[in-house]
Structure 1
Amino acid sequence: MSSILTGIFERHSDYKRLENEVETSGFENSDYIVYLLEDHPHSQYMASVQIRDNEQLTTAQNIFHQNSVVKTYLFENMSIEQASYSNIKKYIDARCRAEIHSSPDVRIKVQHDGINSEVKS
């Protein structure tokens, strides 16, 4: 079964350019989906590409990076028919909740003894 590579793109990225590059690199029109918000034409958008082998994965990743991808997700054993916006969003939300985010450097202050009984007067 195939996999789905999904990317979240920056606001200034041009989804038409992404579509063109995906199609000229050998993917069919039925192999990808671009998710757009109708009421916000210049907002962030997502795109999913159906991947069948490692070569296609590398090609799609390169295209995504050239088009200002912010974050990518690979969903294995999923077809493009299963990659509806609500389904993909549900999986991304679950992965984000499961990620352990790195915390800032924490300094632990150790308690010192101060003056103890060994000090002679």
Structure 2
Amino acid sequence: MSSILAGLFGTQSDYKKLELEVENLGFLDSEYIVYLSDDHHNSQYLASVEIKNKDITDKVRQIFNENHAHKIYLFENMSIDQASYIHLKRLIDARSKAEIHSSPDVRIKVQHDGMNSEVKA
């Protein structure tokens, strides 16, 4: 079965350029989806590409990176027909919640004995 490579893109990324590069790689219109909001000129968007051959994954990932993808997700055993926006968004939200985000340096206090006989009165 195929896999879906999905990328979340920022406002500075041009979705038309992304579509052109994906098509130049040999993908048909039916093998990728660009999910746009009503105001697609100044908003983030999501794109997904159906990967049938694992060798092409790196090439699509490179195109996503060149088009300023914030995050890239691989969903195995999924076809483009199953890649609705709502379904992908739920999967991405679940993965984001499961990620362990880096935390600031944590200092661990060790237990001490408190005041002892060395303290002068």
TM-score, shorter chain, exceeding 0.5: yes
SS at match of 2:50: strand
Corresponding position: 1:37 with 2:37: yes
- Alignment correspondent of 2:27: 27
Displacement over 6 Å in runs of 4+: none
The alignment's TM-score, normalised by the length of structure 1, stands at: 0.90
1:114, distance to aligned residue in structure 2 (A): 5.9
Residue in structure 2 matched with residue 6 of structure 1 by the alignment: 6
Q: Could you tell me which runs of 5 or more consecutive residues in structure 1 were left unpaired when the two chains were aligned.
A: none
C-alpha change, 1:88 and 1:120, in structure 2 (3 Å) is: closer
1:101 maps to which residue?
Answer: 101
For 1:40 and 1:34, how far apart are their aligned partners in 2?
11
User: Identity of aligned pairs, percent?
Assistant: 63
Matches within 5 A, 1:54-65: 54-65=54-65
How far residue 97 of structure 1 moved from its aligned partner, in angstroms, is: 1.6
| Deviating more after overlay: 5-14 vs 98-107 | 98-107
- RMSD (Å) for aligned C-alpha atoms: 1.8
